[in-house]
Amino acid sequence: MKKLILASMFFLLAHASFAREELQLGVILGAPTGMSAKLSLGNNRSVDAALAYSLSKDLGLEFHADYLIEKAQSFYINAPEPLELYFGIGLRLAEIDRGKYDNDVAIGPRAPVGVTYTISNPNLQFFGELALILNVVPDTDVDLDAGLGVRYRF
């Protein structure tokens, strides 16, 4: 499981490093906590991924990747830049650490919704996200991820 997750993350980052679009690397804190990457595809679309550790009592190492529609709505606050709403669809793989399915992998689609705030100097993007996950393997159940993070924009 860990090898599959690490290989997936390596492939995503290797592919992203040769792309012409904007690449972002950073951290996400919450559930899960770990490394975060995002690649802009242009036209308000992007792909993000995280390799993280879940603080849940039942889950361990987690990898997720999402296709995002960005700037779905802008919220103008008393700041130089607006808060931008995004949403998307993706997939999560998570190692199960306890119980009947110990050492199995939970797999399921995830639906993230979040906001971003981007500043230019330094090139940072802050984000907050909620994601509903429907685990379908090895058993059907629902999880909720929530996190705050920051990424450096290259």
In the predicted model, residues of the chain with pLDDT beneath 50 are 16, 19
Torsion region of 16: left, alpha or beta (phi above 0 gives left; psi -120 to 50 gives alpha): alpha
pLDDT confidence of residue 21: 67
Measured between alpha carbons, how far is 80 from 117 in angstroms, rounded to an integer? 10
CA 83 to CA 117: how far, in whole Å? 5
Question: How much is the pLDDT for 1?
Answer: 60
pLDDT computed for residue 23 by the predictor: 97
Q: Give pLDDT, residue 89.
A: 99
Beta bridge partners of 105: 95
| Rounded-to-integer distance, Cα 54 and Cα 96, Å | 10
Q: How many C-alpha atoms does 146 have within 13 Å on its Cβ side?
A: 2
3-class SS shares of the chain: helix, strand, coil, % to 5:
10, 65, 25
Q: What pLDDT does residue 97 have?
A: 84
Domain 2-153 is of which CATH architecture? Beta Barrel (2.40)
Q: pTM for this structure? A: 0.84
Q: What pLDDT is stored for residue 58 in this prediction?
A: 79
